[in-house]
Amino acid sequence: MENKAHAIAAGLFLLLLGLALAASVAWFQGDRTARVHYTVVSRSGVSGLNLKAPVKLRGVEVGFVDSIGFDPQDPRQILVGIAVDAAAPVSAATHAQLGLQGVTGLSFIGLEETATNAPLQRAAPGARIPLQPALLDRLATSGPLLIARFSEAAERLNLLLSDDNRTQLGRSLQKLEQAATDTSQLMTALQPGARALPGLLKDADATAQRATAALREIEALAADGRALTQDLKTRVAVLDQLGGAAAQLQASTRNLELALVGDTPPRTRPLVTDLSAASRSVERAAQGLGDQPQSLLFGRSPPPPGPGEPGFAERLKEGGR
């Protein structure tokens, strides 16, 4: 009896000790953090997502998944319940995405804000957060279209790289190489001219300066020529007046001679004759000045050489030409 009592006491002691240890472990492992529950709404798959999967806000773990199920009102939607730390800044503009946990194939829920510059407005407890498709989901959705476009691009590339096009491309490359060679030769030929170009520019500048000076001299000569022409015109007008006066004098003398021939005494006839000769001399002088008005300035030019005189043969040659 005494041995049985000791065995029962030892068993009770061990049982109480185990219960105490279990209570201690439960006490230390218990989650006493204040949580706020939200619902993540997904219209695509949530593969790799399990209960107790972590929930991260901008990479910081702030909660876990506590439920996964279909929406009773719309079976095409999946409702994922998450428990998030009450201190986590979950805003009304937050959206969710699935992320992979390394190479395990398991997923977690990542929360991101759409507008990070806007003032923080916390989401109400129980609010629904949309789940945006991940990169792999978008690739899976647009995969057939991408494959079709890739196939079309491959066909066009195959058509572009046909035998005829490759041959034509080879000819074009040969012509391009020949053009490059010709250009190199042309540049080599132009190098001496390019070296001489500065000197030519200097000569052209000096020539332009000389031409400017010559133009100024020509303008000065033109001004002098205009003045000389005006002077000559004035002198010619004077000569014309002189010629007119001589003609009037000759006419008057002739009239006087005719009037006095009949009844002039013999003593006055030599005087009339001298007046007539003087008038004719004045007329010849006026006619000579009219033919060569420049003789008034530069002197009378000599008459052309006659037969037997020096220069007559050259004159005949020039006249023959």
Is pLDDT above 50 for 282? yes
Would you put residue 105 in left (φ > 0), alpha (ψ -120 to 50) or beta? Answer: left
Residue 260 maps to a domain = yes
For the segment 76-99, the average pLDDT, to the nearest whole number, is 88
Residue 165 maps to a domain = no
Between 158 and 231, the higher pLDDT residue:
158
β-pairing verdict for 78-85 and 107-113: unpaired
Q: Point out the domain boundary residue: 137, 162, 191.
A: 137
Is pLDDT above 50 for 321? no
Q: Where in the sequence is the domain holding 259, given as residue range(s)? A: 228-302
Between 314 and 122, the higher pLDDT residue:
122
Residue 265 maps to a domain = yes
**221-230 per-position pLDDT tens digit:** 767 667 666 7
pLDDT band at 264 (very low <50, low <70, confident <90, very high): very low
3-state DSSP helix/strand/coil % of the chain, to nearest 5: 60, 15, 25
Residue 147 maps to a domain = no
Q: How many domains would you assign to the chain?
A: 2
Is pLDDT above 60 for 261? no
Rounded CA gap, 94 and 112, in Å?
5
Residue 65 maps to a domain = yes
Residue 164 maps to a domain = no
Q: Point out the domain boundary residue: 109, 137, 165.
A: 137
Residue 148 maps to a domain = no
For the segment 186-196, the average pLDDT, to the nearest whole number, is 80
> Could you tell me the two tokens for 43?
């219209």
pLDDT band at 182 (very low <50, low <70, confident <90, very high): confident
Angle of CA points 14, 19, 20, to nearest 5°: 95
Q: Point out the domain boundary residue: 114, 137, 160.
A: 137
For the segment 67-94, the average pLDDT, to the nearest whole number, is 89
Is pLDDT above 60 for 267? no
pLDDT band at 113 (very low <50, low <70, confident <90, very high): confident
Give the residues across from 214 on adjacent strands. Answer: none
Between 174 and 298, the higher pLDDT residue:
174
How many residues belong to the chain?
Answer: 321
Q: Which of 68, 21, 23 is nearest to 41 (CA)?
A: 68
pTM above 0.75, yes or no: no
**130-181 per-position pLDDT tens digit:** 988 776 666 666 667 778 888 888 888 887 777 777 788 888 888 888 888 8
Residue 97 maps to a domain = yes
Between 239 and 59, the higher pLDDT residue:
59
